[in-house]
Structure 1
Amino acid sequence: MRKYMKYEIKGSYKFILGIIAIVLIASTIIQLNISKQIKFDMTGSGTEIRGFGAFMLVISMLVIFGAFLTAFFQIIGSFRKELYEDRGYLTFTLPLTGNKILGAKLIVAIIWFTTLGVSIVLYNLLFAMILYGPQWSDFVNFIKEAIRMVNSSFLSVGIVSGLSAIMTLILIYFSMALSRVSVRNKKIGGLWFIIFIILSSLSSYLMYSVSEAIPYFLSLDSFKIFHSYELNFLSNVTMGQVIVFGNNFDAYINIFGVLSLIVISIGAFLTTGYLIEKKIDL
């Protein structure tokens, strides 16, 4: 499995590095425009970024969004290529189980998405240090204050978001494998996406129903379990949500909602591994 992961990384690192380079260039343009606007505000000139500068600012933001979207489709697309193209013969004849093949692809995908995020954050922090010079100490103090503000609510959102992202990746891989098995050797481009939309909707409905039926919530702040009637929620909150917020924006995780999310992810993972190992015709 480790060798297969190395093979996956070796086959995609050049593309990921290219995406990172594009995003960093776009981030540089955005920071330069922001710095220019700050200087205008400090001098009291009342000037705003207009014309070509504003155009480049918007284009840079679109480039970053497009780069992340391209990276996403490239990463998940490598699995689809192995299902329909000749490279699949090599992959599916390796002495690896379907679960190991899928696990390797999932881990590599998480590594690349994490690399993209971390590299952008670190680059922008370092570039800000160079760009703002003497003002950097104030910027550092702002970051420290922001870190102090990170509490159980941020942690709760991070946990649920991470689990949801992993489930989404697994459902995408499951949809691709299921479409390959369903149509055999026929290549129907958008079928996997239709299957994914259906599976994603059913999963969301199941999690919502479970969360609403068993409204027990965990607070990571006190590690206590509460029933819904013990909590004061924001006015627009429904019991079917996996994570909810109280009146003080305290986050509470629906225990059984998260458990259903994990069960769906494990079930889809194991089923995809089975399809890869037993049902894919080379």
Structure 2
Amino acid sequence: MGMLIKYDLKGNFKKFFIMLMIMAILNIALLLKVNAGSNGMNSIFAGLLVTLNVVFNFAALLICLNDFQRELYDDRAYLTFTLPVNGKQIIGSKVISTFIWLFITAALSVIFILMLLGGTGEINFSLLKINQNIVMQIIITLVYMFIDSFIFICLAYFAMILPKMANLNVKLGKFLGGLIFIGLMVGLTYVNVKICVVFPKEMVINSVSGVSVRIPASDGMELFLVTGKETMINIAGFIYSVVLSVVLFVTNSYLVENRLDIK
């Protein structure tokens, strides 16, 4: 699987190098504008900087997903999907390489946002002074974000694989895959919300008091919520997300290994 990851990273290196260079140049330009502008303009440029980083992180995800879809329909599909490796290794390598690029893009975004919050164009390390409870909040938040991203990626893979199994052409396959993805995303999110309503108990990590479990006064609609001092996560919804991520990964691996007809 290591060779597959290396192959994927090498294939997207040029794209990401260009994208990250453009991202860095635009961030530096906006930071210079923030430091040189008036208070009113500072807010505008700061907002643009944050928006810019969100857009580039989403673009990084789209590049990786598009690479998987292109590989399904290009000639190199025969090479990739007929290698002497199992489906779990193929899907696992794709997911890991995607997360590597997402991590690099997100890390660069964090650096520039810390520079923005520092107010002087330098990284404000004082923002990183945290206690044990805040560390737990950050870890839980990152784990939840990882699982949600994993589900999003695997669901996108699943929506791409199904049209290919039906031997549809590229345009029709992309269109149908998009409809499948939207439909499944809406349906699975609806199920998650219903689970959280039926089982509203949530885990709360407070930056001062630590971890506790409670039943919220509301209808238990918070799947995941971060406030100034608290991180709240619905326990049943979290378990559902973990199970769903495993099911999607196993399903994609099985389809790639046993049901994908590469011609």
Q: Which of residues 242, 246, 256 is equivalent to 2:223?
A: 242
Q: Aligned with 1:253: secondary structure?
A: strand
How far is 1:256 from its partner?
1.2
How far is 1:132 from its partner?
3.6
Give the fraction of aligned pairs with identical amino acids, expressed as a percent: 23
Distance 1:98 1:86, change over 3 A: same
Give 5+ residue unaligned stretches, structure 1: 42-47
Q: Deviations over 1:177-212 (max 9, x none)?
A: 12211x314321221111011111111111111111
Distance 1:57 1:128, change over 3 A: closer
CA contact 2:148–2:241 (8 Å) conserved in 1: yes
> Which runs of structure 2 are paired with 1:1-282 in the superposition (5 Å)?
1-37=1-37, 40=38, 49=41, 64=53, 66-122=55-111, 132=120, 139-141=124-126, 143-144=127-128, 147=130, 150=134, 152-181=136-165, 183-187=166-170, 188=172, 189-221=174-206, 222-226=210-214, 228=215, 231=216, 233=217, 238-244=219-225, 250-282=230-262
The runs of at least 4 consecutive aligned structure 1 residues that moved more than 6 Å come to 56-62, 126-129
Distance 1:59 1:122, change over 3 A: closer
CA contact 2:46–2:116 (8 Å) conserved in 1: no
Aligned counterparts of 2:3 and 2:226: Cα–Cα separation in 1: 44
How far is 1:165 from its partner?
1.4
Distance 1:244 1:22, change over 3 A: closer
How far is 1:215 from its partner?
1.9
Task: Answer with 1 or 2: which has the greater Rg.
Answer: 1
CA RMSD of aligned residues (A): 3.2
Aligned counterparts of 1:64 and 1:210: Cα–Cα separation in 2: 33
Aligned counterparts of 2:221 and 2:36: Cα–Cα separation in 1: 46
Aligned counterparts of 1:61 and 1:79: Cα–Cα separation in 2: 28
Q: Aligned with 2:202: secondary structure?
A: strand
